[in-house]
Amino acid sequence: MQILEAAGQKQLTQRERFEKVRTLVHPSSESASKALAAEVAALIRERAAAGKTTVLGLATGSTPVPYYRELIRLHQEEGLSFESVTTFNLDEYYGLPRDHPESYFRFMRDQLFDHVDLDPSRIHIPDGTVPMEAVYDHCLDYERRIIEAGGLDVQILGIGRTGHIGFNEPGSSADSITRMITLDRVTRQDAAADFMGVANVPRSAITMGVGTILEAKRLVLMAWGANKASIVREAVEGKVTDQISASFLQNHGNATFLVDEAAASNLTRFRFPWLVGPVEWDAPMKKRAVVWLARKLDKPILKLVDEDYNENGAGGLLASTSEAAYEVNIDIFNRVQHTITGWPGGKPGIDDSRRPERSEPFPKRILVLSPEPADALIGMGGTLSRLREQGHEVKLVFQTSGNLRVADVAALNFARVVLEMAETSHSPEWESQTAYARSIVEAIDAKGEFGIDPDFVRKLKGLILRGEARDAASVCRLRYHDNQFLDLPFYETGRYRRFRFEAADAESVRAILAEFQPHSIYATGDASDPSSPQAIAFRAFTEAWKGWDGGTRQESRVWLYRGRDRPFEAHEIDMAVPMSPDQLEEKAESIRRFMSINEDDLNAPARNREIAATYDALGMAEYEAIEAFRRWIPA
């Protein structure tokens, strides 16, 4: 029973001809996961009716979470039974006790096993606690059990930024079997938030091999969010290579990539649609094609000639108008040029018909939403500074406390300062503070290497991060009272990869909109992995927007920025705010005020330089750096 299409491995239509494996694109991870769950449920039912078991290959991480939620719903509401199901998980970290909150064993219990009628004796997950000398046999035994169960009927997969499936990091061969593997640096970096710091992420894991996975009768690889877009493209359109283990799916007769629009956005049919078929040459499509052509040929826009268009697959653009290349060039050049402004809040008293932001009212009330505390500084620190300098009333709202990112040592340092103060003061008045500080030290000691913080430690960590956030914002000229902290509930009760949106999150943001009545809003998270704090914070905003009526809503303009996600491409930019070398250094300084910052975050200024270099290459003025924004138009 197959509901998702996977007719052979090749794509069928012209539009999809660059794709070497069937790729289905859904508007959201939820609709995609429902479709997959429907297929799997039908398979389970069909086989159970014939007295057969179904062997499901499972994955962990954020990607399959909506799929598991749907399976649970099907069980609870539509009577889907898992009694006839046997499961095998792809992988497990090596060295984590099974009850560790980040062990895949625990993850599976929380996300699926505890909520359905699976027989525990039919559940298989590699054991990350077997002694080193027993790992080899354990892995062989795992392979044997899969074979004895009759092989995997449907194996679901996520994809890492290294292109791994399971934990088959670059270099894993097509015939590899279950084994111990060393995790790639990028993979460990991506897991850093889950483990509260990269240093805590295990260095190795036990994983099914590529060969084990390819033996499954059916493979479905899911991917959500813009951060997966480039690796999805490589796996789907690129060469089959052991450097990207997901590319081996191209050689499997019954594999499907199931992706949301953001993860599909780099596929040729979406990114360069004119290369694969007829397109409607509206203004955004023209801009996209001309910018692409200029970048491809490494020429400024105004130097493109008719042959450039015709010889590179963009002849259709010229054919669609009566204009020659030069006229098209000028039109697009002007459009790109007009995105540049040093007045992100609008320049008062002048004609704004070609400017990204309106002149009036001036000054404006400007609301900046930062999902985790560092996001806004990383994404738009320079623009924040400008908005304040130009006299706007800026409210920087930190949506979540971000407390999971704060290292133990920061809390311990605080507690030790309190203890030393108490000791030197020799005063009985310090008794309760001393008791508090001791309880912090004890709680951190007690939770051990990978343990979970009790609420009062999370609270302290959140307050420490508040201090850093205020400090960082002050480097960007914000005053103490310009900052507001929402501590959205979804974050306080959750963990990375498992956050869940709650109505209270939206209500909290709606209350700010209604009270502050902003003229402009800056937000991010629209293309993030759906279970990330950024995506949920964005959802809190969009739901809040729907529930906000009256006031300045009609005239309010929403700008999207990019913090930790893939930066906008040049053609996507509606507003480009240039920065001088000094302003860029100021932004870098503000990011450094966060102790929990990682390498990627510190690279934010380099990304701003890259945007400026792209604008320069297109023939715009040469700036040191640019922060980029895109208009959000509510559906």
| Residues taking part in catalysis | 169
CA 156 to CA 152: how far, in whole Å? 10
Nearest to ligand F6R of 64, 382 (CB atom): 64
Among all residues, whose Cβ is closest to ligand F6R?
A: 158
Taking residue 493's Cβ as centre, other Cβ atoms within 10 Å add up to: 11
| Residues 338-362: b if buried by 16+ CB within 10 A, e if exposed | ebbbebbbbbeeeebeebbbbbeeb
The β-bridge relationship of strands 154-157 and 54-58 is parallel
Nearest to ligand F6R of 218, 286 (CB atom): 218
Point out which residues bind ligand F6R (CB under 6 A). 59-63, 90-91, 158-160, 164-167, 497
How far is the first Cα of the chain from the last one, in angstroms, to the nearest whole number? 35
The identity of residue 27, as a single letter, is P
For the chain, counts of helices (H) and of strands (E): 23, 17
Nearest to ligand F6R of 184, 308 (CB atom): 184
Nearest to ligand F6R of 271, 497 (CB atom): 497
Q: How far is the CB of 193 from ligand F6R (least distance, A)?
A: 10
- Comparing CA positions, the residue from 395, 391, 380, 382 lying closest to residue 347 is 391
In terms of phi and psi (left: phi > 0; alpha: psi -120 to 50; beta: otherwise), the region of 166 is: left
Q: How far is the CB of 247 from ligand F6R (least distance, A)?
A: 14
In sequence order, which ranges of 349-483 are alpha helices (DSSP H)? 375-389, 408-425, 431-447, 455-475
HSE-up (13 A, CA, CB side) for residue 562: 26
Q: How far is the CB of 90 from ligand F6R (least distance, A)?
A: 4
Question: Residue 523: which H helix or E strand, with range?
Answer: strand 520-523
Q: How far is the CB of 160 from ligand F6R (least distance, A)?
A: 4
Taking residue 47's Cβ as centre, other Cβ atoms within 10 Å add up to: 17
Cβ atoms 302, 619 nearer than 8 A: yes
Nearest to ligand F6R of 63, 556 (CB atom): 63
Nearest to ligand F6R of 222, 465 (CB atom): 222
Q: How far is the CB of 289 from ligand F6R (least distance, A)?
A: 32
CA 626 to CA 615: how far, in whole Å? 9
Q: What single string gives the DSSP state of each residue in 454-504?
A: -HHHHHHHHHHHHHHHHHHHHHTT--GGGEEE---HHHHT--TT-----HH
